[in-house]
Amino acid sequence: MKIIHVSTPLSWRGGEQQIAYLCLELRKVGIEQMVVCRQGSKMEDFCKRENLAFTGLKKRTSLDPGFARKLSRLVKDQKADIVHPHDSHAHTFCIVAARLFGMKTPIVLHRRVDYPVKNTRASYYKYNHPQIEKIICVSRKVKRILDQSLKDTTKSLVIYSGIDLEKFDRNSRILRQEYGIPPSKTIIGNVAAITQQKDYFTFVATAQKILEKNQEVHFFIVGDGDQRTEITRLVTQKGLDSYFTYTGFRSDIHRVLPSLDILLFPSEKEGLGTTILDAFAAGVPVVASNAGGIPELIKQAQNGFIAPVKNPDELARYCLLLLERPDLRQKISFEAFKTAQTFSKENMAQQVLKVYEKVLQGRL
């Protein structure tokens, strides 16, 4: 079996981490793989570092026919058994490679976002192309949304994303040490790109409501993104600068995340929310919105708390409850840690491998 993974982002976010976990786990069981990614991408750096076979291609536009032509040639030259696109642009390139450049290889697609498919003829064709054998959805919510646009809903299935259960230093206090946060202050933070999807406007509004009741709190925004300037300006306008720290992108999340006391995760859209799973494994209690697949992870008041999307009042109420009840924080963290054990990267990779095997058996 030979798999070609296709990934087009330049950046490194949750989807890229899932590809990394998948590739490394499949390599352990002897699956031959190649990653097709963009030149100069973080994925290219990862493949070099981990000695994974890869090809970096230039991508000029989201419909660059040159990328699709080279992909098609590469798939044929490598005699790949399955092509696995991991994002929307990668999906598009695979369909163009099949439609215009004669790529006949079966496609297994990954769907990680909870957006509806665009109501256009091109999008309908793209998701119902006959070479797509299976579509892996990262949550039941993603599958329900996607199925509305599929002719054959038996092609879609759910495989939850996986995490590395062993990577977190649960005793880390790196944020307190680096930024001089005193023991009297509780650290509430989020680890996510500063984008519309992650809804840091609601994060700031929630912080303001928490501070009205409890000033012994410091807020961390761990990440970067296209809304960073807007968010920092909003914090300044509200007079909250002394309560906020922005770390930018961090590569040491295994130490950063456990040093939070509460993860506040108010996403507007979320396919699943692997940061929540990471927090579970790191022993950090979570207060989150009920966006996308998040309710499939959090059982209310058992292993975390969820509130409606864009509802800072409810998010603040749950954060304040955890601040007032250390015993509840401990109970929630314990139950969350147990939940995390069922979402291992090893289990995720084994399920994906079974999909590959089923596709190839069906082609015999």
Which CATH number do you get for residue 306?
A: 3.40.50.2000
Q: What is the CA radius of gyration of the chain?
A: 21
- Establish if 233 belongs to a structural domain: yes
Do 183 and 206 lie in one domain? The reply is: yes
CA atoms of 290 and 346, how far apart (whole Å): 27
Within a domain: 133: yes
Do 23 and 158 lie in one domain? The reply is: yes
Tell me if residue 122 falls in helix, strand or coil.
helix
* Alpha-carbon span 224 to 344, nearest angstrom: 27
Number of domains in the chain: 2
pLDDT (tens, 9 = 90+) of the chain, 364 residues, equals 999 999 999 999 999 999 999 999 999 999 999 999 999 999 999 999 999 999 999 988 878 899 999 999 999 999 999 999 999 999 999 999 999 999 999 999 999 999 999 999 999 999 999 999 999 999 999 999 999 999 999 999 999 999 999 999 999 999 999 999 999 999 999 999 999 999 999 999 999 999 999 999 999 999 999 999 999 999 999 999 999 999 999 989 999 999 999 999 999 999 999 999 999 999 999 999 999 999 999 999 999 999 999 999 999 999 999 999 999 999 999 999 999 999 999 999 999 999 999 999 986 5
Residue 167 maps to a domain: no
Residues 78 and 183 in one domain: no
Structural domain contains residue 287: yes
215, 155: one domain: no
Yes or no: say if 19 and 84 are a contact pair by the CB < 8 Å rule.
Answer: no
- In this structure, the answer to whether residues 241 and 142 fall within a common structural domain is no
What global pTM score does this model have?
A: 0.92
Residue 169 lies in a domain: no
End-to-end, the C-alpha distance of the chain in Å comes to 13
Are residue 191 and residue 306 in the same domain, yes or no?
yes
Residue 149 forms part of a structural domain: yes
**236 alpha carbon, distance to own chain's centre:** 29
**Is there a domain that residue 168 lies in?**
no
Structure tokens at 89: 């642009």
Same domain? For 336 and 190 the reply is yes
What is the extent of the structural domain holding 109?
2-162+344-363
Q: Are residues 189 and 298 in the same domain?
A: yes
Q: Which residues pair with 219 in a beta bridge?
A: 188, 244
| Residue 113 sits in the same domain as residue 213 | no
Residues 142 and 7 in one domain: yes
Phi–psi pair at 80, nearest 5 degrees: -65, 145
Q: Are residues 107 and 251 in the same domain?
A: no
Residues 335 and 357 in one domain: no
Residues 6+ apart with CB under 8 A from 296: 139, 140, 141, 160, 272
Burial of 295 (0-12, 13-18, 19+ CB in 10 A): middle
